[in-house]
Every structure is written in structure tokens, then in C-alpha cells.
Amino acid sequence: MSDLKKKFEAAVANSKSLTERPDNGTLLKIYALYKQASSGDNTEKKPGFVDMVGRAKWDAWNNLKGTSDKAAMQQYVDLIESLS
């Protein structure tokens, strides 16, 4: 397992025990970076207009389209470290 993958998995574990809850914009960024790093580009159907939370999450992930998994992992690690 690569060093970056280990750091990413540690950051995922650390994200569950942050001392304070990040704002909604930061939470969306954490979600989007995690999805991009673990699943790649968004290929899911865009949620309907009434599903505002699902739509915000979909948009945040979709905005990272084309970002490599390694770049997304590094950004995720950096973000979680900045919040810890």
C-alpha cells in the first residue's frame, strides 16, 4: 500500500473525530474529495430539484471531475490536517 493511501486512510479515520464540526461548505469539500479519491469521476445521475442536500453533494463531487485519485487524496489529507 502506498504512503499516500495510508495517509488518506488515516485522514478518513481522523475526519470522524474532529474537535468541532466544519461548516457546510467544508463538509461538502470533504465529501467531494473523498468520493473523487475513492470512486473517481462522478457518473451518477443528478438528484432531482427537491433533493437539495443530494444535489449539493452531487455538484461538489462533479466539480472535481478530471482530478486524479492521487491529487484528490492529497487534497483530502491536507484539508483534514488543517482542520485537526
Query: DSSP for 9-56?
Result: HHHHHHHTT-SSPPPHHHHHHHHHHHHHHHH-S--SPPPPTT-HHHHH
Instruction: Look at the pTM and tell me if it is higher than 0.85.
Output: yes
- The C-alpha atoms of residue 17 and residue 71 are separated, in whole angstroms, by 23
pLDDT at 60 over 90: yes
pLDDT band at 2 (very low <50, low <70, confident <90, very high): confident
Phi then psi dihedrals of residue 41, to 5 deg: -60, 145
Q: Which CATH class for the 3-83 domain? A: mainly alpha
Residue 1's pLDDT is 65
pLDDT at 63 over 90: yes
- The C-alpha atoms of residue 63 and residue 70 are separated, in whole angstroms, by 16
pLDDT digits (tens, 9 = 90+) for 25-52: 999 999 999 999 999 999 999 999 899 9
pLDDT at 58 over 80: yes
Average pLDDT, stretch 54-77?
96
Residue 54's pLDDT is 95
